[in-house]
Copies of this chain bind each other. A is one copy, B any other.
């Protein structure tokens, strides 16, 4: 098994935290995104979509998506459960993970990738070049503001994002919050519940992954 990672990128960090929570370690290869190694023919033979993370199984099967990789490890190594046990819990964790990703993670990505100088024609990850759209960077910043308020409200009556247990939804939310920080979008002072939660999940050893 081989895990294609990049320590500075947010998407593979989701998997690293997931693995750390489960106590699993996997042989890891670093992909140098800074020098566009993901666009080389060698890496595109592994993942044609030219993104990290990717996981290669011993039979050569490749899983080219952060949540797809988490699904794999949840199935082969169910403890501790990070994607729910009952039908209802599985559904709620999936929903919250996706809502955080859609409203938060993609908002930060819009803000970041459409404004950073070094990503001039790389406004989206993947094999195709797309020009930055300044209005989209602006919209991303607005979205992230709304997302912080939404999550703060949720965390006012729930210990963790998807309910009483830490889950993959918290992992996506933590990676989103820290990625937002890199885009200079800090957790608002008035979002007390969000800040309480962020301190709590950041104190888990897995957050260092």
Contact A68 B92 (CB under 8 A): yes
Closest to A68 in B: B95
Residues from chain B with Cβ under 8 Å of A135 in the complex: 133, 135-136
A99 at the interface (CB under 8 A from B): yes
Contact of A63 among B69, B92, B139 (CB under 8 A): B92
How far is A91 from B62 in the complex, measured between Cα atoms in Å?
10
Q: Please give the count of copies of this chain that the complex contains.
A: 2
Stretch of A22-30, A70-78, A170-178, A183-191 on the interface side = A70-78
- Closest Cβ of chain B: how far from A155's Cβ, in Å? 14
Q: A130-B139, A133-B135 are in contact. Are A67 and B87 (CB under 8 A)?
A: no
Q: A65-B95, A98-B65 are in contact. Are A71 and B90 (CB under 8 A)?
A: yes
A9 at the interface (CB under 8 A from B): no
